[in-house]
Structure 1
Amino acid sequence: MYRIILIFILLWPLIGEARNYTISGTIYDQSTRETLLSAYVTETSSWQKNATNQSGFYSLTLPEGTVNLRISYIGYEEVTKQLTLTCDTLIDFSLPKKETIIGEVVVTAEVPVHEQTLMGKTMIPIEKIMKVPTFVGIPDLMKAITIIPGISLGSEARSDIFVRGGDRGQNLILLDGAKLYNTNHLGGFVSLFNTDIIKQVDVYKSGFPSRYGGRASSVIDITTRDGNREKMTKSVSIGLLSSSATIDGPIGEKLSFVAGLRTTYYDLFTLKSRIDYSRNENGDYFGYTFYDVNAKLTYHISDKHKAFINIFSGKDLNKSKYKQFYTTGFEKSNSAYNIHNTCITLTDRLTLNAKTLWMNSLIFSRYKNSLEDNMSTLYEGKSREDLYKSFTTISEINFQSRIEYYASKNHSLKAGVEASRYYFTPGNSRTKSKETESGYLLDTIVGFSTPFSANEAALYAEDDICFGNNFYANIGLRGVVFTNEGTSYLKAEPRISLRAKFNDYVSLKASYTSMNQFNHVIIINYSFYEKETWITSTKNVPPQEAQQVSMGVFTSAPSIKTEFSIEAYYKKMNNLTEYNPATSADFILPNLDQTIVKGGKGEAYGIEFQAKYATERLTLDAGYVLSWNYRQFEEINNGLRYPFVYDRRHQLSILGSLILGKQYFLNANFSYATGRPFSIPESYVYLYTGSSDRDYYSYYAFSEKNNYRMPDYHRLDVALVKQKISKRGYMQQFSFNVYNIYARQNPISIFFREGKFYQVSLFTIVPTISYSIKF
């Protein structure tokens, strides 16, 4: 009896204790072998789950024995697998796409919002981007992002976004890890991104993971496709103002590629004016074109190892000419304004073991805008030539290295380093004038004659933690050091996101984030162009700081196919910068104090509501925001706080998609926003300087900045889409879009002249058509 008791005591620590093993691998699209991001692997007995990362990699630590796995992803058939776990196991899964009627709305298998720990994160599948009607009739990423509550466009004519009270330059926009410093084509009517090569978009407006840094307000992380590994595919899209072509496929067994080209044929619409200009003595014309090129080559070294190089180049070319001949001479002018974005990414991703993934990237990014004006005159034998050139650039060489370690079922660690070298030319201007008769000659260079540099390095770590079955956290810390010609800043950025699960359908979330931004964007208006100029932090221009707290309730109701959330936030910003409108310079001077106003403060807070509804034939996505947004500078508005120019008290968006038949479906998007603030004069003042009635000067007197609001903005866009499979099996899509279907004249600006207000509106109703084919 004693022996039995002794054996029982010795074996007791082992009784009921199951050993844990890790099961990991990669999730693929069955038909293309593309990796699937944010696919979920769930163990259905314990409901433990893990989402694939940007490499399509997952890792689950489970007790020894029989496990039941369910693999799911948006628009794909679920796959189940039962296996006996006796050791660490590496297993990949391929998911088949759902077989649907053409045009059917796929009810997604996306993880419910109440089960996501990170609040403020939205994963936008490419299918949703395709559903948002646009002005030019082709899908537009930046326009689609604005359906998310808390994210809005600045104006109808731009693709810049403003997130929870932040400015346009406070958004970290990544294309396969490379930063983009400008996102516009066609002056903002079209964004920079070719949706045909995009795989997934992750948008963060709060709860930022510590691996992201360098911007104060948001993160938009865009991942492109690797290319079809099974067969060659092609697609062509033709819109009213632009077209695109994409090709992807395998090169042997180890390589795959994807390449896309997009351009406009706006110049064709101005061809007649160019011909007339060349034939006639007098006249003028305006020409414009843009293009962007994406090319990505992926080397699948093994099931555990892959590398890729991604190249992006986008350019806008604006030009105008004018000539006028007289009996005694002539006037001629040529102007050109060009924008060029370039980025190159080289990335290596290696699965070290069942729990560890190692990624390294070397990245180059560059943004440049240039302006040139050339004018020549001849009058009664006297000639004069005036030449003006200016440009601004920012270039960055960036290195990143990150380890992802899935330690246990309760811990998932990410840690890494990041280093950047920046080269700035914030403003370089050359003015050259010459007169033949007088011999007058002027040749002046103002601004930064040579680039200057700055350095930024960061070390970060974050941990996804599970405490029991109902409490989850993402805790991270990012340390940053920034140096610039003798000036250095050392910053710590704590991040924390919490989720408390009340039951199977309701969760409470909260987050706190601290962000620093060392590079500032200054917007300068020149003629009808907006020049974006990037400057760096210095001893006199400290980095921007932003701290944000948010809290919300998130719930799902599967029985009525609905999700709902309500989220409140408060953001405080310091060390903001603005262009000084009092200066006459159209570029950044070496003495930054002459061209910018610094030391600004910002405050933004609000409440966001979002609801989603999805059935087999109807999907609805609605969002409403009640928000306040303020700025304060000592040198502006007498040092008093004033509404930010993009302060919108109320914002509402509703996106819907309805199946009309086997081949037809209808997309609609309604947008509403309170009119944005602007300044109007309180009076017109005359100051007499002498005894004569003519000895005076006058000016408009303003009581305060942004003391009035434009009329409210609202419009409804609709798109009727037909999908058809040709006799050869090609997928064709015809789309008829109507932008602003009830012809609302929304103002983009209001100006005051001779005691009256005048409203400027761009568009009323705009119908467009587009066609695409995949083969």
Structure 2
Amino acid sequence: MKFKIVFRFLMVASLLFIFPAMHGQGQTRISGFVRDQQTGELLIGANILSTSDKGGTSSDNNGYFSFVVRIPGTVKISYVGYKPAEVAFSVPKDTLIDVALVPGEELGEVVVKGLRTPINNVSTLRISELRQLPSLGGKPDVLKSMQLLPGIQAQNEGSSLLLVRGGDPGQNLYLFDNVPVIYVNHLGGFMSVFNPDIINSIDLYKGGFPARFGGRVSSVVDITQREGDRTSLKGSLSLGVTDLSFTVEGPTKLKNSSFILTGRKTLTDPLMATVTRIIDMNGLVVAYGFHDLNGKFTWKPDERNSFHLNLYQGDDYLNYWSVQKSEKGGAKETQNSHLKNAWGNWLASARWNHVISPRIFMTNTLSYTRYRLNLFQNYSITDSIKHPVFDRNYLSSVADLSLRSNLKVQVLKWWSLDAGLQASYLDHIPNSYYQSTLEQQPVVERLRAFEPALYLDNKFSLGSRIEANLGLRWVGYHTKRFSSMSLEPRARINLTLAPDQQLSASYQRVTQNEQLLFTAGSVMNNEVWVPAGAGIDPARSDQYTLGWNGSFHNGQYAAEITGYYKTLSNLATYREGYSSLMGDLDWRSKVVTGGTGRSAGVEFLLKKQYGNWTGFASYAYSRTTRQFPQINKGEEFTFDFDRPHTASLNINHKFNEKWSASLTWVYQTGLPYTPVLGRQLTLDTEPDENGNLGYYEVLMYGDRNSGRMKDYHRLDVGATLNTITKRNRKATWTFSVYNVYNRHNPYFYYFNTRTDDYIERPENLTDFKATNMYQMSFFPIIPSVSYKLYFDGTATKVPKRFTGEKFKKWLYQEK
């Protein structure tokens, strides 16, 4: 039945493709790209306005636009910080243009503040805004910056994991130039893998997804990379508290081509290894580090075609080395052990963009991504007797080979559509285990799946006030023993109340066929992706939204209010008492399925978008619950990361061309926790050395998440100094202070019978002691600084070599 509906739907759409659209009298279609004249970089979100009929549009994530204008007439193209351009048209012929805007910051108020039209449910962050925010470590973090916006929360303090409208961290789709990235965090969620030096723009969809997006039920984080400067070779080198990074970009020998290469590497791993060796931790050496490498090549052979190659590789690694030396009866013995936990991504993609005609734009992408989590352990003894080496290895991985093809078609002036297909071949290894001492190794379970999808989005302009987006997405999922299909309707309606005010409503259904099992707060990564199959149905969400947005004072101020209601079904998580699938062949027994969730809330945002003073204020109220058949006696409970009230305030001020400063204040309701109601003695099932059974003490817990930690808030400040070095190179100093008033925010609560830092477990007690609750805090006031040096190929001022001739002439008065 579903196949018949999809077939009929696509047949109607195909017929509409066949009939050529007729020109209205005195109209023509204008399509093209908007770029930076100096670097050739695409300008995403540029405003394109027809002065004759006041119609307009904005450039998409490819810098592309297409719309119909009256002729004769003029089109004005503007972008914040650039001098606007005007193009006149008088011939009724579809036209493809390439617009290059000149940076015009020095023109002050003469520059038109072309701003992207705000859309409800979409949070947009420009790279210039990202760099203004004070940050922990002195360098901006993409995902932590998004957490300041309404409806987006952090898992815990210092974490870059995103929780969007009551969702889990694994329910967000991260697209890097339209390619999914599976793992997006370093250091247990402390930092994101996205290097800001290569980012052009960021759009986060909280609801109202276009039909081209699917596979995750909570949000889509659409990140567009820069293309690299086409005019000259340039770069930068940055040193911060946590890492060292570099950027190199410029043209290649191939005409109309460019490249950009960025990298980051922590400075902590050699430091940790050196310190742990010096303080002599009984032969134990510990080191943690991570790295990221990004590369992109772009070639535009003509005005209709462009080719893009992307590469990314990033890894985290935590190592423990131990060497124990001893001597027994004159014989020397050495015990060596090594434990390594490594996790990260590989990504490679090729994309072809092609303008078939001013009405039709096509994008084709072939990509491969792989995430793997690996735990390796090695142990050996060296003495007079030869001992076998003990090796143990655990692996969990998922690989995704995908093809995506998309068409944007302007059928009529009032009707455009976005259609395409996606096909993914997925290779899952949830739990692979090897141990050298086992005579028979466990059989590795490998789950392969094929996930095709078709989608169609229609955008209708019904008069001058109503705009409707109606879409449908069909998704299939097929494995050797499991198959499912789903239809995902999408709808969004905008009503224009005034030229700068809109009322919008949306509905979406989204299906997720792979779910993430994760352990909160662990530096050693335990994230495992499990595919849908027998007993693990695909997760699903339905979301309804209603919102208003508007701008005031010539676009200087923008505001939005959005309410939402979301339901989740078929959720999966760890069974109570488990936090890893490692080494268990029957891993499905550790997974609880059939969960449901509800989330409802209202969000508010007020933003000042340009001027010497900029910033925003946001507030959100929401409530989120979960319910699983085998958790909390099957009763509904408060979500682990439910925070009813969240608010943030950001203020930025530009004093002059050198100095700027920023301030950010954050407030959140405390996280829920499960309180302890009492203690009891429990019979020990294992006898002691004398064969006697004893008792040990256990804590008695109340209802799950029925308590609240104290509220969270902090103040961050930062300052930026732009300067010129003696060699005429640009440089930037960034200073920041995290948690200025040193608020001790709770990271977690624990129960203890002692008043010092030593945690004494209740089962070790031989006599009664009172149990009290304490909080653990990790982030006090933290000052940081970073330095960034730019190499732009300009002439450098090289000091003359000192020969002593000037000093000699001055000394002997020869001149």
Q: Same fold (TM over 0.5)?
A: yes
Distance in 1 (CA, whole Å) between partners of 2:259 and 2:611 is 34
Structure 1 residues 405, 589: closer, same or farther in 2, change over 3 A? farther
2:716 counterpart residue number: 717
Residue number among 78, 81, 84 corresponding to 1:78 in the alignment: 84
Q: Does 1:195 align with 2:196?
A: yes
2:96 counterpart residue number: 90
2:340 counterpart residue number: 336
Structure 1 residues 537, 225: closer, same or farther in 2, change over 3 A? same
2:267 counterpart residue number: 265
Q: Does 1:359 align with 2:355?
A: no
1:677 counterpart residue number: 672
Q: Does 1:617 align with 2:619?
A: no
SS in 1 for 2:484: strand
Query: Which amino acid is 1:162 matched to?
Result: L
1:760 counterpart residue number: 776
Residue number among 6, 16, 33 corresponding to 1:26 in the alignment: 33
Q: Does 1:737 align with 2:736?
A: yes
Residue number among 490, 495, 498 corresponding to 2:493 in the alignment: 498
Residue number among 389, 395, 400 corresponding to 1:391 in the alignment: 395
Offset of residue 451 of structure 1: 2.5
2:534 counterpart residue number: 539
Query: Which amino acid is 2:177 matched to?
Result: D
SS in 2 for 1:270: helix
Offset of residue 209 of structure 1: 0.3
Distance in 1 (CA, whole Å) between partners of 2:441 and 2:578 is 18
CA contact under 8 A between 1:106 and 1:616: conserved in structure 2? no
> Bigger shift: 554-563 or 29-38?
554-563
Distance in 1 (CA, whole Å) between partners of 2:61 and 2:321 is 48
SS in 2 for 1:747: coil
Residue number among 763, 769, 775 corresponding to 2:785 in the alignment: 769
Alignment of 1:478-489 (within 5 A): 478-489=473-484
1:4 counterpart residue number: none
Offset of residue 270 of structure 1: 2.6
Structure 1 residues 338, 107: closer, same or farther in 2, change over 3 A? farther
Alignment of 1:141-160 (within 5 A): 141-160=142-161
Query: Which amino acid is 2:32 matched to?
Result: G
Alignment of 1:554-703 (within 5 A): 554-558=549-553, 561-583=556-578, 586-587=581-582, 589=584, 591-687=586-682, 695-703=694-702
Offset of residue 88 of structure 1: 1.4
Structure 1 residues 583, 37: closer, same or farther in 2, change over 3 A? closer
SS in 1 for 2:215: coil
Distance in 2 (CA, whole Å) between partners of 1:213 and 1:281 is 49
Distance in 1 (CA, whole Å) between partners of 2:222 and 2:752 is 44
Alignment of 1:419-438 (within 5 A): 419-433=423-437
CA contact under 8 A between 2:581 and 2:587: conserved in structure 1? no
CA contact under 8 A between 1:533 and 1:588: conserved in structure 2? no
Distance in 2 (CA, whole Å) between partners of 1:683 and 1:746 is 26
SS in 1 for 2:666: strand
2:138 counterpart residue number: 137
Offset of residue 81 of structure 1: 2.5
CA contact under 8 A between 1:208 and 1:495: conserved in structure 2? yes
CA contact under 8 A between 1:282 and 1:325: conserved in structure 2? no
2:206 counterpart residue number: 205
Structure 1 residues 760, 376: closer, same or farther in 2, change over 3 A? farther
Distance in 2 (CA, whole Å) between partners of 1:315 and 1:702 is 39
Offset of residue 528 of structure 1: 4.8
CA contact under 8 A between 1:254 and 1:301: conserved in structure 2? yes
Distance in 2 (CA, whole Å) between partners of 1:107 and 1:644 is 46
Offset of residue 361 of structure 1: 0.7
Offset of residue 581 of structure 1: 3.3
Specify every segment of 5 or more residues in structure 1 that has no aligned partner in the other structure, as ranges: 1-15, 434-441
Structure 1 residues 271, 576: closer, same or farther in 2, change over 3 A? closer
Alignment of 1:240-255 (within 5 A): 240-252=241-253, 253-255=255-257
SS in 1 for 2:74: strand
Residue number among 418, 425, 428 corresponding to 2:422 in the alignment: 418
Distance in 1 (CA, whole Å) between partners of 2:380 and 2:576 is 29
Distance in 2 (CA, whole Å) between partners of 1:224 and 1:664 is 28
The sequence identity of aligned pairs, in percent, is: 30
Structure 1 residues 39, 758: closer, same or farther in 2, change over 3 A? same
Offset of residue 160 of structure 1: 0.9
Query: Which amino acid is 1:388 matched to?
Result: R
Structure 1 residues 251, 527: closer, same or farther in 2, change over 3 A? closer
> Bigger shift: 738-747 or 600-609?
738-747
User: Per-residue CA shift, 1:686-733, capped at 9, x if unaligned?
Assistant: 24699x997434422222111212121111111111112346553211
User: Per-residue CA shift, 1:272-320, capped at 9, x if unaligned?
Assistant: 336548xx79422211221111111112121110111100001112101
Structure 1 residues 403, 229: closer, same or farther in 2, change over 3 A? same
SS in 1 for 2:286: strand
CA contact under 8 A between 1:101 and 1:662: conserved in structure 2? no
SS in 1 for 2:493: strand
SS in 2 for 1:648: coil
Specify every segment of 5 or more residues in structure 2 that has no aligned partner in the other structure, as ranges: 1-22, 686-690, 754-770, 793-815
> Bigger shift: 364-373 or 183-192?
183-192
User: Per-residue CA shift, 1:652-688, capped at 9, x if unaligned?
Assistant: 1112211233411101111111111121221112246
Offset of residue 582 of structure 1: 3.5
CA contact under 8 A between 2:273 and 2:286: conserved in structure 1? no
Structure 1 residues 546, 668: closer, same or farther in 2, change over 3 A? same
Offset of residue 60 of structure 1: 1.4
1:126 counterpart residue number: 127
> Bigger shift: 260-269 or 542-551?
260-269
SS in 2 for 1:133: coil
Distance in 1 (CA, whole Å) between partners of 2:648 and 2:464 is 35
SS in 1 for 2:274: helix
SS in 2 for 1:128: helix
1:750 counterpart residue number: 749
Query: Which amino acid is 2:633 matched to?
Result: N
SS in 2 for 1:426: strand
Offset of residue 105 of structure 1: 14
1:374 counterpart residue number: 378
Query: Which amino acid is 2:68 matched to?
Result: T
Alignment length (residue pairs): 742
SS in 1 for 2:456: strand
Distance in 2 (CA, whole Å) between partners of 1:726 and 1:96 is 26
Distance in 2 (CA, whole Å) between partners of 1:101 and 1:761 is 48
User: Per-residue CA shift, 1:187-235, capped at 9, x if unaligned?
Assistant: 3222101111111111100110000000000001111111111111211
User: Per-residue CA shift, 1:2-58, capped at 9, x if unaligned?
Assistant: xxxxxxxxxxxxxx9724321111111110112222212110232211222222221
Offset of residue 137 of structure 1: 1.0
Distance in 1 (CA, whole Å) between partners of 2:316 and 2:349 is 22
Distance in 2 (CA, whole Å) between partners of 1:747 and 1:383 is 48
Q: Does 1:111 align with 2:93?
A: no
Distance in 2 (CA, whole Å) between partners of 1:688 and 1:342 is 50
CA contact under 8 A between 1:739 and 1:767: conserved in structure 2? yes
1:171 counterpart residue number: 172
Residue number among 346, 368, 392 corresponding to 2:350 in the alignment: 346
Offset of residue 322 of structure 1: 2.6
Query: Which amino acid is 2:308 matched to?
Result: F
Distance in 2 (CA, whole Å) between partners of 1:412 and 1:422 is 33
Alignment of 1:223-302 (within 5 A): 223-252=224-253, 253-273=255-275, 276=278, 282-302=282-302
2:59 counterpart residue number: 52
Residue number among 451, 473, 490 corresponding to 2:468 in the alignment: 473
Distance in 1 (CA, whole Å) between partners of 2:384 and 2:96 is 86
Query: Which amino acid is 1:485 matched to?
Result: K
CA contact under 8 A between 1:342 and 1:366: conserved in structure 2? yes
Distance in 2 (CA, whole Å) between partners of 1:722 and 1:281 is 42
CA contact under 8 A between 1:523 and 1:533: conserved in structure 2? yes
> Bigger shift: 412-421 or 555-564?
555-564
CA contact under 8 A between 1:432 and 1:444: conserved in structure 2? no
CA contact under 8 A between 2:273 and 2:285: conserved in structure 1? no
